[in-house]
Structure 1
Amino acid sequence: MAAAAVARFKLIFHVPPSALETCKKAIFAAGAGRYPGPGNYTECCWTVMGTGQFRPGEAASPHIGTVGTLEKIKEAKVETLCVGEEVTRQAVAALKAAHPYEEPSYEVLKLEDF
């Protein structure tokens, strides 16, 4: 009988370039970016630069920008693999702790086995 496969997740987040390496270091330390298998690959991710936009509300305390003003800023989008639900939870917690934004933009997607 084959062992059950460990669930895989994709963590995707946006971060200003000035905090990119700090956030990547934090999620990698939590176990994100490791590919199972004989290659023992670690710290794997895909990063692309783009433009993010947001308008902080009246109760906001923005790291970048001004309350009530539409902001458009350079951001990096990072995608990485997390193997297992616990690693995923730890990577998200590490991201939130390392990220400079009041509310980091991120998502977690469960990957299907094929």
Structure 2
Amino acid sequence: MYKIAVFIPEEALESVKSAMFEAGAGKIGDYDSCSWQVKGQGQFRPLAGSNPYLGKLDQVEAVDEYRVEMICADQYVTEVIKAMKEAHPYEEPAYDVWQLADL
């Protein structure tokens, strides 16, 4: 089992979550579409060679984003990450993946 956390701008929140759920994430027992989210602010500076979704080259940009967490069974994790990247508007989405222990 894995836990995935991804940072998503507000306007893409539901479409990215839906893509991840459809690929197999967010299932806990007899429930699906399970996730946790909190709103915060991310920042970045696009460098030469980038093609930013928003912001301008060499200027720090701040944007309201949601940190979304969900679990994912081993057999779906590769497809879930692929689906997240395809649905996400950012050229380089920020995300983390942790393998969970079964205690």
- Normalised by the length of structure 1, the TM-score is 0.88
Residue of 11, 14, 33 corresponding to 1:18:
11
Measured in 1, the distance between the counterparts of 2:8 and 2:87 equals: 10
Corresponding position of 2:23: 30
How far 1:83 moved relative to its partner? 1.1
Identity of aligned residues (%): 41
- Normalised by the length of structure 2, the TM-score is 0.97
Give the count of matched residue pairs: 103
Off by >3 Å, runs of 4+ in structure 1:
none
Measured in 2, the distance between the counterparts of 1:89 and 1:82 equals: 10
Measured in 2, the distance between the counterparts of 1:76 and 1:65 equals: 18
Corresponding position of 2:43: 53
Q: Secondary structure at the match of 1:48?
A: strand
Q: Cα RMSD (Å) of the superposition?
A: 0.7
Corresponding position of 1:77: 67
Corresponding position of 2:100: 111
